[in-house]
Amino acid sequence: MSTPAFNIELITAGKKFFRNWIFKNLSFKLGPAEKVSIIGHNGSGKSTLLQVLSGYESLSAGTIRYSKNEVEISRENIFNHLSIAAPYLELIEEFTLEEIVRFHYQLKKPVQDITPNEIIGLMQLDGSKNKVFKYFSSGMKQRTKLALAILSDVDLVLLDEPLSNLDKQGELWYRDLANNYLKEKSVIVCSNQNEAEYSFCSRSIFVAEYQ
């Protein structure tokens, strides 16, 4: 299977809140199926940069361009091409796990046409299929968020501190899921210098260099 030519390009990009620059003069290009990490300490702006890349936040300066097969994608439509997992993004607490999975995959197509039950199996949460999400542990919630993002048939996967709330077994689970399902996708991982989160990435962006 050929890899779609999906690209993102940032040109002298900057983001500020009030008078404070979060980052500035940042230029880079993400190529097809490339894996890049964004590294920075807490409060450094890495999550803000990820939100800019997702189209959720606008730039204060510079330009961002999205394209697929040399056709430009507007910022308003980029959400159709990506999935995201982040600690600050919430799922519907009143739904059961099965309801969350079915709802998500009404909005995104699953990879390889795998079924909701197979997805729950890949989460290793079969016994919690009918459990209401608000009663999940923080680790179970994180597994759910990561699996929904990684198992979506999209061009770009954005992961913000993916090992948050995961124990050692969860870390191994994340590594296997990433190795098995992210090969054909472009991926950006935000991390507070936890190498286990971005070991599969080929290069890194250090936010402190653009402040």
pTM: 0.94
pLDDT (tens digit per residue) in 155-209: 999 999 999 999 999 999 999 999 999 999 999 999 998 999 999 999 999 999 9
pLDDT-based confidence at 1, cuts 50/70/90? very low
172 to 5, 77, 160, 166: CA distances (angstroms): 30, 34, 17, 10
Q: H or E element: which one contains 7?
A: strand 6-17
The domain segmentation of the chain, as residue ranges, is 6-210
pLDDT at 185: 95
Looking at the structure, give the CATH architecture of the domain made up of residues 6-210: 3-Layer(aba) Sandwich (3.40)
86 to 143, 162, 204: CA distances (angstroms): 11, 7, 19
The residue whose two tokens read 């079915």 is 102
**Main-chain dihedrals φ then ψ at residue 26, nearest 5 degrees:** -100, 120
